[in-house]
């Protein structure tokens, strides 16, 4: 019997022992190895919990804000439910989502890649269940939960209308900033304008402190905190805090008289006032108790037409009577005939407080 050659022996050894197909190592070929070892797993069902009020999403017991559309969320959940073994080269995942009902969707998944030198292809289906649950933020808001109240008042007067609007704007800016940074429970649940000022009900002590601080920084004055024990939870004392904001008696834009000279308030802390003298524009500071009288606010100034200028004197026309009048201006003021300027009337004196 003729002897087998070395090449014939090598051919017999380099075949798959299961299917007889060529095998580089003489072990299982790529196709048989693929059948022997599952190369992917596909979840049968995934659940998504959304807040019906604000649309935030609950995952792992934690609520997070989301702006993603429903299909985008579904694709993300399905993709995370599919696992492909790391040996698969150039894996491709194709997902198409079909809405079945308002609470149920079905995802068709196509998987492709290369494994052990062989192309692989598979399909599976994943069911997406949509559940509704009110989130922690909306639950607290609807339940009138709060941890503090920011009370805005003014010394010796009621806060001006523009101060109320400014405070409301500051509060909303702070709330938006907290929300954007992930502080979901730092919200404003109510604003109530009273005969004495404005009350802002807040959902956390952090936002209450931030609002009170920002108001004082913008409008001056000061604030104090007054905690009240309301109970215990898990052995920890629970407090509600009143943030008492006291705006200064004189605010920015008020025109006052100090040492017999009128001046426009630039900033007031509640104890000290910084103002700009009219008409020379010199900035000075004085204690609040040095104010001799209050003239008015630059917001109440009326518009006058300049008719002439001679040195530091200008002529203007009264907008109501049309009667010409004169007033003094600073030497550096560049007012010219035909220009409209804003003037505050202080009896026999006219105080120029700016251009139109």
Helices and strands in the chain, H and E counts: 6, 23
pTM of the complete model beyond 0.85: no
Residue 18: what pLDDT? 63
Tell me the fold of 301-356: OB fold (Dihydrolipoamide Acetyltransferase, E2P) (2.40.50)
Residue at token pair 């429903």: 70
Q: How far apart are CA 82 and CA 74, in angstroms?
A: 13
Query: For all residues of the chain together, what is the average pLDDT?
Result: 87
Where helices occur in 99-230 by DSSP H, the ranges are: 136-142, 161-180, 205-219
* pLDDT averages per 10-residue partition of the chain, 356 residues: 48 66 67 73 91 90 86 92 85 90 93 81 92 92 91 92 94 93 90 95 95 93 91 82 94 92 88 89 91 91 91 88 87 85 88 79
Class of domain 249-299: mainly beta
Render pLDDT for 250-299 as a digit per residue (tens, 0 to 9): 988 999 999 999 999 998 877 889 999 988 889 999 998 899 999 999 98
Nearest to 91 by CA among 40, 35, 31: 40
Residue at token pair 């026309």: 317
Domain boundaries, the chain: 15-132, 147-247, 249-299, 301-356
Residue 106: what pLDDT? 95
Taking a C-beta distance cutoff of 8 angstroms, is the pair 233, 239 a contact? no
Residue 7: what pLDDT? 46
Helix-strand-coil percent breakdown of the chain, rounded to 5? 20, 45, 30
Classified as helix, coil or strand, 172 is helix
Residue 109: what pLDDT? 92
Cα 302–Cα 287–Cα 331 angle in degrees, nearest 5:
45
Nearest to 214 by CA among 161, 248, 246, 167: 167
């Amino acid at each position: 019997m003729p002897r087998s050659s070395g090449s014939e022996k090598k051919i017999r050894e380099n075949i798959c022992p299961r299917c007889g197909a060529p095998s580089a190592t003489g072990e299982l070929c790529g196709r048989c190895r693929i059948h022997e070892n599952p190369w992917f797993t596909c979840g049968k069902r995934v659940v998504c919990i959304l807040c019906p009020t604000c649309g935030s999403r609950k995952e792992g017991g934690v609520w997070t804000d989301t702006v993603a559309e429903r299909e985008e969320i579904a694709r993300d959940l399905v993709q995370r439910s599919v696992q492909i073994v790391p040996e698969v080269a150039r894996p491709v995942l194709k997902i198409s989502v079909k809405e079945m009902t308002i609470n149920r969707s079905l995802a068709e998944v196509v998987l492709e890649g290369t494994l052990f030198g062989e192309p692989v292809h598979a399909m599976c289906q994943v069911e997406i269940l949509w559940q509704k649950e009110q989130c922690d933020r909306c639950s607290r808001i609807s339940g009138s939960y709060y941890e503090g109240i920011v009370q805005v008042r003014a010394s010796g007067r009621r806060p001006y209308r523009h101060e109320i609007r400014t405070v409301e704007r500051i509060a909303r800016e702070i709330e938006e900033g907290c929300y954007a940074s992930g502080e979901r429970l730092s919200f404003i649940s109510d604003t109530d304008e009273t005969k004495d000022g404005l009350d802002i009900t807040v959902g956390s002590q952090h936002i209450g402190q931030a609002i009170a601080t920002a108001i004082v920084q913008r409008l001056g004055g000061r604030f104090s905190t007054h905690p009240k024990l309301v109970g215990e939870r898990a052995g920890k004392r629970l407090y509600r805090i009143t943030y008492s904001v006291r705006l200064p008696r004189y605010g920015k834009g008020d025109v006052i008289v100090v040492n017999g000279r009128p001046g426009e308030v630039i900033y007031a802390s509640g104890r000290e006032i910084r103002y700009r003298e009219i008409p020379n524009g010199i900035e000075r500071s004085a204690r609040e108790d040095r104010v001799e009288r209050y003239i008015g606010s630059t917001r109440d100034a009326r518009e006058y037409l300049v008719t002439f200028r001679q040195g530091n004197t200008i002529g203007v026309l009264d907008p109501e009577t049309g009667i010409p009048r004169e007033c003094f201006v600073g030497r550096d003021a560049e007012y010219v005939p035909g220009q409209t300027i804003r003037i505050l009337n202080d009896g026999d004196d006219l105080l120029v407080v700016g251009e139109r």
